[in-house]
Structure 1
Amino acid sequence: MSFALRFILREIRSSEVITLIIALIISVGTVTSISLFVDRLQLSFEQESANLLAADRVVRSDQPILESWKSHATEQGLEQAERTSFATMIFANDKLQLSQISAVSASYPLKGQFLVDDALFAQGNPSTIAPASGEIWLSSRLASLLAVKIGQMVEVGDAKLRVSKYLVLDPGSSTSAFAVSPRAVMNVTDLAATHVIIPGSRVRYSLLLAGDRDALQQYETWIEPQLKEGQRWQTPKQKGQSIGQTINKAESFLLLAGTLAVVLSGVAMALASARFVKRHLMQVAVLKTLGATPRILAKLFSLQLFILFVVGALGGLISGWFIQEGISSLLSSLMTTTLPEPSISKLWLGVATGFISLIAFCLPLMIRLIQISPLSVLQPSARVEKNALVIYVVGFVGLYGLMCLYTQGFMLPSIMTLAIAGVGLVVSILGWGMFKLGRWATSGATSGWQIGLASLYRRLTPNLFQLLVFTLIIMLGLILVGIKTSLVSDWQAQLPEDAPNHYLFNVQADQVAGINDISQRLNLSSSSWFPMVRGRITKVNEDLVETLYPEGTPEPELFEREMNLTWADHVGEGNQVVAGDFHDQGISLEQKTAAEAGIKMGDKLTISIGGLHYTLPVTSIRTVDWGSMRPNFYVIVPKQTLANYPANFVSSFFIKADQAQAFYQNMSRYPTVSILNVGDLLKQIQTIIAQLSQAIQLVLLCILAAGALVLIASIGSTLEERREEGALLRVLGAKASLVRQALIVEFGFLGLFSGVIAALGAEASLYGVQTFVFKSAVSWHPLLWVLGPLIGVILITSIGVFASRTVLKVPPMHLLRDF
């Protein structure tokens, strides 16, 4: 142990050991920081969604909550609250208005907070206290429709309640997309006195729970087998599906970034390991001559690798922790809440990354070194690269396994592996051809340009390997740039700053013009108006739906309920026809819905509307961008089919904060119109997008650091040969400027070739990633074809000349003494 420590301490100043340690730190640190940060984002997402849910978990039921459910929650140490939601008429000042009422217990909400105010249409102040018994909070719109003020009484059934606050936001109010009537909140203790809930009433009972994750998990395991039809266990993730999709896309990107960092760090470790082994050939020979057995050497090098692993892993864990803390601090101004502390359990992934990297890239070379005989090592022709194919296969398998472990899947690693393999084949063929052409064109070289081009073929194998390494580094960087640009642009395109945040339902045809006038006066951005008529699909071709899906058999969504049908003269924004033609002679279906129901082009659907039946062919299939926040429909039917039925119209509007009061006041003239405000959900998604966009910028720095490390390690692997050549040229009378020019030309052409091939590989990889991973539209990236060659020439030439500076600065006699 002491010998191994002295040995490694003596070697710590060598560039190979430093590179190994730095590669380990970058690999472990990048993986650790990304894992911890994604974990914090997911916890934050759960917290934000829980705020909208008003609890960590909710049990929803069409029947009153059983006492045994409440008792078991108490036994698990969970906080509890109750909410009973129903629609009823509220009376005041000889006026009546249908409203959506939530009767809540005193402990409601468990998460999040109310926004209430004493002024109509105000921004609201936070409150975590529910209405007291005998009080009711009315939304500003409801209060305006009833012409009541704070302190006045309203009637809910047989109970008279005093208006004590104007309700701006109920944290659990968005649990139903159909709760679009003006809202009110009252105390659950007053519910019995209203007598509004009678047998047959449509009521939703909710038991809200909050507490420790393990306790919630145990409660979920206990209650789920007891849930019947009309009862549901709801989690924050289910609540925020739109946000969840955003998080999943972001996590895929960050996992890709981490995978690329692991690839780069692994390549750097492989290069440093090769140099480390080459430098220790003589030491191994001496140790074996003095009687050291392979077992002793194995123990010695194992201890060295262990020490390197401990130092690199600890450094990586510490740096990864501080990196994710730095990311979180920089993004704190964008956070709606403080990010939760990360889970310590996530540190294992970084440690596993370092361990597998070391085993895959260093151990095979160490084994080859131990197995070489003293005589073969002392021979100048000895090559530790014997059976190199086996070594590279082991390293490749380890790298692929590491990527699969990190991404928890095979798709992303497979795409990256195929891209790398393809690039390797292209590089080998094109590089050999270009280097051979350079040698032919520089026969009898005397200038720096000719010497530099001739050097490309003279060091054919090392330069082909460097060309591959440089190409991969640039390609990976271009992939990150391309994905970041397209991914963030895709998110922002789906949810721009002026994305609609209000829906208007139940609008009659004679009300559309008046609402449009309000929109124009307030300068509001709005989508088109769409008519809606309710209908149900009863037949597919000649088969009844009841026959296709007997009772008890799960039905596709297209058949299980009445659908909102609409007509349109043309395909709306966010819709794209992918099969057939969109016209007024048949039905247009959304693609995923049609696939789920097994419906194809030409199939005939029978639709029941108001007791009448219409049979129409499917003439087009559409994709729909549900994230556009505009009204969209599963089924579009011909206008003449719905022309004789009264239709309600729907549209979406973008309303700024300073326009909301005027809009609601004007809409008080239309008491039957239902308004759904989804602004809070949009703000949450947009906040997450902003957070992730900033996080991606910082993660890219880790990738660039790993890439720079590989560049330096790759150039270092051929540095000795370059120094020998430079020394020989200078001894023969060449000036330093000639040697410098030759280096610039050699590295410049390596960079140019690498950049062009990298742009090709990046474009191919982006096609695969966009198609199979992010499932987004494929786009062309002309910027990559400019950045690739430009970065290649500038970056590789700069780093190459800098890393080879000793060739120019050290006197020729000193260089010759080294050899």
Structure 2
Amino acid sequence: MNFAWRFMRKEMRSTDVVTLLVALVIAIGTVTAISLFIDRLRLSFEQESASLLAADRVVRSDQVIPPSWRQKAESLKLSVAERASFSTMVFANDKLQLSQVSAVTNSYPLKGRFLIDSKLFGQGIKSSESPKPGFIWISSRLASLLGVTIGQKVEVGDKTLTVSKYLVLDPGASSSAFSISPRAMMNKADLAATNVIIPGSRVRYSLLVAGEASSLNALQAWLAPKLTDGQRWISPKQRGERIGETINRAESFLLLAGTLAVVLSGVAMALASSRYVKRHLMQVAVLKTLGATPKTLSRLFLLQLLFLFVIGAVLGLAFGWIVQNMIAALLSSLVTTALPEPELWKMWLGVATGLISLVTFCLPLMRRLIRISPLSVLQPSARVEQGSVMLYLIGFAGMYALMCLYTQGVMLPTIMVVAMVGIGLVVSVLGWVMFKFGRSVTAGATSGWQIGLAALYRRLVPNLFQLLVFTLIIMLGLVLVGIKTSLIADWQKQLPADAPNHYLFNVQANQIAPINQMSHTLKIASSSWYPMVRGRITQVNGEQVSKLYPDDKPEPELFERAMNLTWAEQVGEGNKVVAGDFAANGLSVEEKVAKEAGLKLGDKLTINIGGVFHTLPITSLRSVDWSSMRPNFYVIVPKSVLNDSPANYVSSYFVKPSQAQAFYHAMSTFPTVSILNVGDILKQIQSIIAQLSQAIQLVLVCILAAGGLVLLASVRSTLEERMEEGALLRVLGARGALVRQALIIEFACLGVFAGGIAAMGAEASLYGVQVYIFNSEPSWHPMLWLLGPGAGALLITAVGVFASRTVLKVPPMHLLRGI
């Protein structure tokens, strides 16, 4: 044990052992950081399972819940509370902000407690009391946007309320942890006075109940036959399952991204171990000559690996803890729930990652070192049997097992491995062509740049591997840069110069004329007015949607929720009929949602509009240009269907920056009208992307560091060859400047090639995001084509020249001694 410890202390001065240790720290730290942060998200939702609903059970409805349901719950001796959630404008200090508002009864919440505070952006104090009538709680973010503090007034529709607390956490909030709209909470007794709930408004009503399990079951049995489309009975288990599935998917995605850092770290370990083995051949031979048995040597090297693993695990876990705290801090302004401290036992995944990496990438090489006979080592011409392909296959088998462990399955890891193999083949072919071309133009090399280009092909396999590694890393970085800095800006640029940037909705028919007069006076361009009525498709060709899509089968978007319906006498701007007759007495459906739902011309849909059922055929399909930023609808119905249904109206406006203040001031005279500022939403999206990308950049930094280790270890694995070349050049009269120039050219060209291929991959990835996610016209990103090769050349040159700096100092005598 003492000898092994002294031996390890001596080896810690070796670059190879330090490389191996740093790679181990990166692998453990990356996985630990991801798993701990995801655990914090999971714990924030699971600390109080019942408080996810603020009750034991909730009935959720798109329509006002009948009073008889509350009466039945009370008759079963259940505690009852009510809640209505909706989006509306909140006014204060000549400012207005679209907010998510909840109106609750005095008994809310039945489970869990609020977190409220008197300080802006405070941590919150627990409270079980809801806002009193005449008062409102607003989130710190909403208070900042409106410029109000506690004690000041805000307007919600026609009702003026006093801010009494800052809302930190609503135990029954239905929004996700990451939310765009700022939140507010008021007493349900003030809701009617606001006049913001009008026919066609999108409101989610909830009846909350709590009590004995037998009473809850009795209420569920009584309600089951009465629940219609748009009404659901929800339990904490169902809510928790959905949250758990979302978090599990996020964890799988992030861990798969972190796998690249683990794989690269493992490769760096293998390369460093290979050089470690070469350096210890003579030492092992001497020990065997002195009587050391394979068992003794196995114990010695296993103890070294154990020491290395313990040190790497401690440092890696500490590194992971710091990184997950940094991620949580970066996302703190987006997370609406408090994140508890992670559970320490969750660190096992990082420890397992380090152990598997060490065993699969290092142990096979150590075994080969132990099995070498003294006689074969002492022969000058002897070579160690490497079996590199088999060693790397063992290593990547371990990595594949880790990916399966991360995702709890084999599908995603298999897809990722196949994709990496495909990318590797493409990069290898392109790299071979470029290296081959470099060799063809360097025949009879005499200058530094010719020697450097020739070296790319001479060390073909190591350079192709380095090319693949840095192509992947640079491509990930370029995609992140492209999304963060230009993608949304490109999408905005594609919008027409006068594309609407404000929507008005919840507008009554008698408000249209004065609003039109206002816009005419202010010279603000507007689109047509469209009536909106809420409706839900309940049957397709006589079959109930609930039977076509049971609970275990996801519904198409057209069926999963109530939607806004309208009527129009002619096809609107940005709409084009692709099949059927728009003027026929039937439904006109947007073609993409129709295709998703498997609908075609002639199919009959039954729509529930305010409790009245209408069955109509599909008589036309439309393509819709959603980027026109004008009001568009999935389904347009005949005017006769909506004649007897109360409707609110929607329109869009293009408001110039110089007109904004006058427009907002004029709209303050219509407090029940909601305004959606699309420009502000785009800014919020950009802010969210920027903060998320900063968090992802931490993982990317780990990947980049692992890639740098691969380059460092790869260069050092060929160090003897490079030293011989350097010595030979010096023997032939080359000066040190020529050797330095050759190294710089070799690594710079490798960086330029990697950056160029990465720019192609990043451009292709951004094309897919633009076309298939943003549904916009693809655009060119010249910045990426400059940034990729430039960053690649600087990065790889710096690391490569640093790793091979010994070559610049090698004397000609080095070559002569080897003869």
TM-score (norm. length: structure 2): 0.71
Q: 1:450 to 1:491 in 2, by over 3 A?
A: closer
Q: Name the SS of the counterpart of 1:531 in structure 2.
A: strand
Q: Name the SS of the counterpart of 1:342 in structure 2.
A: coil
Point out where structure 2 has 5 or more consecutive residues left out of the alignment. Answer: 61-68, 86-100, 119-123, 138-152, 176-182, 191-203, 494-498
Cα distance in 2 for partners of 1:676, 1:452 equals: 60
Q: Name the SS of the counterpart of 1:287 in structure 2.
A: helix
- The alpha carbon displacement at 1:453 in A equals 3.0
Cα distance in 2 for partners of 1:713, 1:547 equals: 60
Q: Is the 8 A contact 2:500 2:652 kept in 1?
A: no
2:58 equivalent in structure 1: 59
Do residues 477 (structure 1) and 480 (structure 2) align?
Answer: no
Q: Per-residue CA shift, 1:51-102, capped at 9, x if unaligned?
A: 9x7848753484458689999xxxxxxxxx8523589xxxxxxxxxxx9974
Q: Name the SS of the counterpart of 1:504 in structure 2.
A: strand
1:464 equivalent in structure 2: 461
- The alpha carbon displacement at 1:316 in A equals 0.5
Do residues 272 (structure 1) and 272 (structure 2) align?
Answer: yes
1:74 equivalent in structure 2: none
Q: Name the SS of the counterpart of 1:444 in structure 2.
A: coil
When structure 1 is superposed on structure 2, of 246-255 and 750-759 the one drifting more is 246-255
Cα distance in 2 for partners of 1:713, 1:536 equals: 62
2:24 equivalent in structure 1: 24
Cα distance in 1 for partners of 2:14, 2:335 equals: 44
Do residues 105 (structure 1) and 103 (structure 2) align?
Answer: no
Q: 1:550 to 1:381 in 2, by over 3 A?
A: closer
Q: Is the 8 A contact 1:50 1:112 kept in 2?
A: no
Q: Is the 8 A contact 1:448 1:745 kept in 2?
A: yes
Q: Is the 8 A contact 1:452 1:742 kept in 2?
A: yes
Q: 1:409 to 1:18 in 2, by over 3 A?
A: same
Q: 1:534 to 1:812 in 2, by over 3 A?
A: closer
Q: 1:220 to 1:772 in 2, by over 3 A?
A: farther
Q: Name the SS of the counterpart of 1:619 in structure 2.
A: strand
Cα distance in 1 for partners of 2:285, 2:544 equals: 83
Do residues 666 (structure 1) and 669 (structure 2) align?
Answer: yes
Cα distance in 1 for partners of 2:241, 2:505 equals: 21
Cα distance in 2 for partners of 1:635, 1:344 equals: 52
- The alpha carbon displacement at 1:698 in A equals 3.3
Q: Give the partner amino acid of 1:104.
A: N
Q: 1:531 to 1:185 in 2, by over 3 A?
A: closer
Aligned-residue Cα RMSD (Å) equals 5.9
Cα distance in 2 for partners of 1:773, 1:382 equals: 58
Cα distance in 1 for partners of 2:17, 2:274 equals: 11
Q: Is the 8 A contact 1:246 1:685 kept in 2?
A: no
1:743 equivalent in structure 2: 743
2:82 equivalent in structure 1: 84
What is the 5 A alignment of 1:288-303? 288-303=288-303
Identity across the alignment (%): 53
When structure 1 is superposed on structure 2, of 350-359 and 769-778 the one drifting more is 769-778
Q: Is the 8 A contact 2:467 2:753 kept in 1?
A: no
Q: 1:645 to 1:101 in 2, by over 3 A?
A: closer
Q: Is the 8 A contact 1:590 1:624 kept in 2?
A: no
Cα distance in 2 for partners of 1:747, 1:523 equals: 61
Q: 1:647 to 1:805 in 2, by over 3 A?
A: same
- The alpha carbon displacement at 1:584 in A equals 5.2
- The alpha carbon displacement at 1:18 in A equals 0.6
Cα distance in 1 for partners of 2:32, 2:472 equals: 24
Cα distance in 1 for partners of 2:361, 2:635 equals: 56
Do residues 374 (structure 1) and 374 (structure 2) align?
Answer: yes
Q: Name the SS of the counterpart of 2:82 in structure 1.
A: strand
1:694 equivalent in structure 2: 694
Do residues 801 (structure 1) and 804 (structure 2) align?
Answer: no
Q: 1:546 to 1:31 in 2, by over 3 A?
A: closer
Cα distance in 1 for partners of 2:478, 2:759 equals: 11
- The alpha carbon displacement at 1:21 in A equals 0.2
Q: Per-residue CA shift, 1:529-579, capped at 9, x if unaligned?
A: 432246676875xx4235995999999686799764224555788xx9897
Q: Per-residue CA shift, 1:412-436, capped at 9, x if unaligned?
A: 5445433432343344444444444
1:615 equivalent in structure 2: 617
Q: Name the SS of the counterpart of 2:743 in structure 1.
A: helix
Q: Name the SS of the counterpart of 1:104 in structure 2.
A: coil
Cα distance in 2 for partners of 1:245, 1:813 equals: 65
Do residues 649 (structure 1) and 652 (structure 2) align?
Answer: no
2:349 equivalent in structure 1: 349
Cα distance in 1 for partners of 2:596, 2:367 equals: 55
- The alpha carbon displacement at 1:24 in A equals 0.5
- The alpha carbon displacement at 1:726 in A equals 0.9
Q: Per-residue CA shift, 1:11-36, capped at 9, x if unaligned?
A: 21111111000000111112222332
Q: Per-residue CA shift, 1:448-485, capped at 9, x if unaligned?
A: 2333333334x34xx33223223322322322330453
Q: Per-residue CA shift, 1:571-617, capped at 9, x if unaligned?
A: 788xx989758955564435785466432356454668877754333
Q: Name the SS of the counterpart of 1:317 in structure 2.
A: helix
Cα distance in 2 for partners of 1:802, 1:275 equals: 17
When structure 1 is superposed on structure 2, of 643-652 and 801-810 the one drifting more is 643-652
Q: Name the SS of the counterpart of 1:348 in structure 2.
A: helix
TM-score (norm. length: structure 1): 0.71
What is the 5 A alignment of 1:72-151? 82-85=80-83, 102-105=104-107, 110-112=112-114, 128=127, 130=129
Cα distance in 1 for partners of 2:315, 2:780 equals: 40
Q: 1:481 to 1:440 in 2, by over 3 A?
A: closer
Cα distance in 2 for partners of 1:473, 1:549 equals: 52
Q: Give the partner amino acid of 2:106.
A: V
Q: Per-residue CA shift, 1:255-298, capped at 9, x if unaligned?
A: 45422222221221121121112222223333333444433333
Cα distance in 1 for partners of 2:56, 2:653 equals: 31
Cα distance in 1 for partners of 2:512, 2:172 equals: 27
Q: Give the partner amino acid of 1:667.
A: F
Cα distance in 2 for partners of 1:639, 1:50 equals: 45
Q: Is the 8 A contact 2:480 2:693 kept in 1?
A: no
Q: Name the SS of the counterpart of 1:532 in structure 2.
A: strand
The number of residue pairs the alignment matches comes to: 735
Do residues 705 (structure 1) and 708 (structure 2) align?
Answer: no
Point out where structure 1 has 5 or more consecutive residues left out of the alignment. Answer: 72-80, 88-98, 117-124, 151-163, 188-201, 210-218
Q: Per-residue CA shift, 1:97-126, capped at 9, x if unaligned?
A: xx997432287794436799xxxxxxxx99
Cα distance in 2 for partners of 1:454, 1:714 equals: 18
What is the 5 A alignment of 1:301-320? 301-320=301-320
Q: Is the 8 A contact 2:136 2:165 kept in 1?
A: yes
Q: Give the partner amino acid of 2:7.
A: F
1:726 equivalent in structure 2: 726
Q: 1:602 to 1:750 in 2, by over 3 A?
A: farther
Q: Give the partner amino acid of 1:504.
A: F
Q: Give the partner amino acid of 1:454.
A: A
Q: Give the partner amino acid of 1:289.
A: T
